């Protein structure tokens, strides 16, 4: 079991701040949605006069845009990510403000002509509508229902699917807030985990897959999964992604 223990220690030691997933190269992989969120984000931001990115993490995705609007702001709820995001977005003179995922947004009405979010924990559709200017756009890549459920169910047992993340629920909430849906797409995407260190780091980083995850709590399941990967190759799961674009 020495290899198992070494991999567990490695998975527990990798820092989880920010949304940089480069550590997973060669250890885990995930197909990308065909629509190319980063490319869409870059196009929309280049055309905007004032942009806001919600739940920006460490600002890694937003920092990849080649051209920023004259005013750029971002919010993030988790304290360790704030300074990372401020450094990443300093080249754009962006405001990076701490705000809870379900808090009212700390901006005046009709401030932005573009609001974006990639994989938000929660979406305040009413607040997005409030801070958007008439004719403004909300562009988001959302995590769909039962994403990576193979891993969740393996560790926790079969779990009910959360309907709040279904495309129908998202559309209904956006329309109830006064937004018009102009684009809606969804895809299931193959994921592979090549060792148990990658599984552990992923579960520590993406905390909603197995809420309250710790290695001691799930040691038996991790041991079983490690044995499976060593004998049979990568563990396969599927992420679910939804692209939604709405207009004020």
Residue pLDDT, tens place only, 7-35: 999 999 999 887 788 899 999 999 999 99
Across the chain, what does the average pLDDT equal?
96
Q: Return the pLDDT at 127.
A: 98
Residue 151 has pLDDT above 80, yes or no: yes
Q: pTM value?
A: 0.90
Q: For strands 50-53 and 235-247, give the pairing.
A: unpaired
Tokens of 91: 């080249």
The CB density around residue 178, as the number of other CB atoms within 10 Å, is: 14
Residue 82 has pLDDT above 90, yes or no: yes
- Residue 157's pLDDT band, with cuts at 50, 70 and 90, is very high
Q: Return the pLDDT at 94.
A: 98
Residue 20: is it exposed, middle or buried by C-beta count within 10 angstroms (0-12/13-18/19+)? Answer: middle
């Amino acid at each position: 079991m020495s290899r198992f223990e070494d991999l567990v220690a490695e998975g527990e030691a990798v820092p989880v701040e920010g949304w940089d997933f480069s550590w997973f190269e060669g250890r885990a992989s995930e197909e990308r949605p065909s629509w190319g969120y980063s490319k869409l984000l870059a196009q929309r931001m280049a055309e905007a006069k004032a942009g806001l990115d919600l739940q920006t993490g460490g600002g890694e995705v937003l920092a990849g845009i080649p051209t920023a609007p004259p005013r750029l702001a971002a919010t993030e709820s988790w304290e360790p990510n704030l300074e990372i995001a401020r450094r990443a977005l300093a080249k754009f003179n962006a405001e990076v403000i701490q705000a809870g995922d379900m808090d009212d947004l700390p901006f005046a009405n009709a401030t932005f002509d573009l609001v974006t979010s990639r994989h938000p924990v929660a979406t305040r559709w009413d607040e997005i509508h409030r801070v958007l200017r008439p004719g403004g756009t909300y562009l988001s890549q959302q995590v769909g229902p039962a994403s990576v459920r193979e891993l969740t169910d393996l560790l926790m047992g079969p779990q009910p699917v959360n309907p709040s993340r279904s495309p129908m629920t998202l559309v209904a909430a956006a329309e109830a807030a006064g937004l018009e849906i102009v684009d809606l797409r969804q895809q299931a995407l193959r994921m592979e985990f090549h060792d148990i260190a990658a599984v552990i780091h992923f579960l520590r980083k993406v905390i909603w897959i197995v809420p309250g995850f710790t290695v001691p709590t799930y040691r038996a399941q991790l041991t079983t999964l490690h044995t499976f990967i060593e004998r049979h190759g990568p563990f396969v799961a599927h992420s679910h992604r939804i692209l939604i674009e709405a207009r004020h």
